[in-house]
Amino acid sequence: MRDDTKKAYENAKDSLKNLGEKLKDEAKDLGEKIKNKAQESYEEASKKASELKDSASKKFDEFKDSASKKADELKQQAGQKAKELQGNAQEISAKLVKELRDKTDAGIMECKNALKETQGNIEKAIEYLRQKGLSKAAKKADRIAAEGVIALKVAQNFERATLLEVNSETDFVAKNDAFNELVGNTLNLAFENKVTFSNENGENPLSNLKVNSETFEEYLKQKIATIGENIVIRRAATISCHDKQILNGYLHHNKKVGAIVLLSVKDSKTLQDSKKREALSTLAKYLSMQVASMKPKVISYKELAKELIAKERTAIAAELEKENEELKRLGKTLHRIPEFVSRAELTPEVIAKKEAELKEKLKADGKPEKIWDKILPGQLERFILDNTILDQRLTLLAQLYTLDDKKSVEQVLKDESAKIGDTIEIVQFINFELGEGIEKKVDNFAAEVAAQMK
């Protein structure tokens, strides 16, 4: 049994040896195959790399030629553009600067810089100058440039009113009888039909209405032929009263500006009282005079947009700082640059903070606390007045009353309300200024004469 085991062991040993030799040979063969395969892959990769290198070199040469050609084209275009820009710059300096100066009264260099900063945009240049405090006003930017008249009709019961603007080519025609007859008939037609329109919108509701058995459009054409000038019915506005309302209007004697103001009360019985009704119609007329002369944009500060307030605050500060330069040179008192410009910014917190500051100052000045109540209201009122410049310019209620500049329009309303025993409010106002927003044609007299001599 032991011999058999020994023999089996020897056989197994030989088998393992043979297997090891076989595996060794196979591994050697496999190594040779891998080596050969790697060599083949290397040679193939080298060949591919060489091909890619040649292709890349060719592509680079092509790109280089293309880039050089493109650079030459861009250089040529840049030269052409530079010439165009130079021409534009000459046009700005020769043409637009004068226009901007006429509208703003700013200096030549200031206008040039403004136009440069705004790429020749007149409106943006005007705003740029305002923000820099260099425009004496955008007042000249709104310069009136048209002939004709403003007409007004108010109902005897003060419950309806119409404003009308009719433009003519010359002031002379605006004064003749035929023109005035046209204006009167047009005004009556607009009043009776409660017409409101602006021909900037391309519509004229008067066109198909009847005047002496013919359409207004036909009537207008005949009048134009008779008068010999182009006549434009530019715009009309009609206001009609509702319950507890009364209105009146004002037309300046030169017929170039007119306004209507609509008022309301809380108690309908107020308007049934003839004396109170007369007082209210008179107040509406005086307020119409206010609107015509002071040209407010809105009734209250509550109608001013936050964006507008922010923009105007910057412009007002720049404007006052510019004026201060001249005042300083003259040795005069300088303007105070306000922190705020509208009542919309004077929140309860702002007022409370200011009141606390004023009390601290009164205390520091040794003023007896028992008299503070007599001093504080006036000081707060002064603070509000100094910090509502924008309201005073744009809002009707904050403006100083033209018939008593010690009061604001808002205070006048309170006083008149107390007199009649009712609350008076301004509901609406309309203001027409002749030719507002229209640019008059500027004739070249020399060119006209030269043309006639040919």
Percent of the chain scored above 70 by pLDDT? 89
Between residues 261 and 446, the one the model is more confident about: 261
How many structural domains does the chain have?
Answer: 3
Note the pLDDT of residue 144: 38
Note the pLDDT of residue 87: 53
pLDDT band (50, 70, 90) for residue 134 = low
Angle at 294 between CA 312 and CA 290, to 5 degrees: 140
375 shares a domain with 344: yes
Between residues 305 and 98, the one the model is more confident about: 305
Note the pLDDT of residue 143: 38
284 within some domain = no
Domain termination residue (choose one: 78, 106, 139): 139
Mean pLDDT across the stretch 362-384? Answer: 93
372 within some domain = yes
Residue 114: give its domain's CATH number. 1.10.8.10
106 shares a domain with 160: no
390 shares a domain with 306: yes
Residue-wise pLDDT tens digits, 151-193: 999 999 999 999 999 999 888 888 889 999 999 999 999 999 9
Whether the predicted pLDDT of 200 surpasses 50: yes
376 shares a domain with 314: yes
129 shares a domain with 210: no
Whether the predicted pLDDT of 442 surpasses 50: no
Give the whole-angstrom CA distance, residue 398 versus residue 407. Answer: 9
Domain termination residue (choose one: 240, 260, 282): 240
Whether the predicted pLDDT of 443 surpasses 60: no
Note the pLDDT of residue 81: 66
182 shares a domain with 105: no
130 shares a domain with 167: no
388 within some domain = yes
Per the structure block, which two tokens stand in for 26? 């196979």
- Min mean pLDDT across 59-68, 352-361, 427-436 is at 59-68
The residue segments making up the domain with residue 123 are 94-139
231 shares a domain with 158: yes
**What is the number of other CB atoms lying within 10 angstroms of the CB of residue 260?**
29
128 shares a domain with 169: no
359 within some domain = yes
Residue 187: give its domain's CATH number. 3.30.479.20
Note the pLDDT of residue 118: 86
Comparing CA positions, the residue from 234, 232, 296, 216 lying closest to residue 259 is 296
C-beta of residue 361 within 8 angstroms of C-beta of residue 410: no
Domain termination residue (choose one: 84, 117, 139): 139
Whether the predicted pLDDT of 142 surpasses 60: no
Q: Residue ranges of the alpha helices (H) in 233-296?
A: 268-272, 274-294
- Min mean pLDDT across 16-25, 91-100, 392-401 is at 91-100
Contacts of 246 (CB under 8 A, 6+ apart): 158, 159, 262, 263, 264, 265, 271, 277, 280, 281, 284
134 within some domain = yes
pLDDT band (50, 70, 90) for residue 365 = very high
194 shares a domain with 116: no
**What is the number of other CB atoms lying within 10 angstroms of the CB of residue 246?**
24
216 within some domain = yes
206 within some domain = yes
pLDDT band (50, 70, 90) for residue 84 = low
228 shares a domain with 172: yes
Between residues 105 and 338, the one the model is more confident about: 338
Q: What is the residue-averaged pLDDT of the chain?
A: 85
202 shares a domain with 122: no
- Min mean pLDDT across 106-120, 156-170, 263-277 is at 106-120
186 within some domain = yes
Give the whole-angstrom CA distance, residue 14 versus residue 8. Answer: 10
Residue-wise pLDDT tens digits, 385-430: 999 999 999 999 999 999 999 999 999 999 999 999 999 999 999 9
Give the whole-angstrom CA distance, residue 348 versus residue 124. Answer: 36
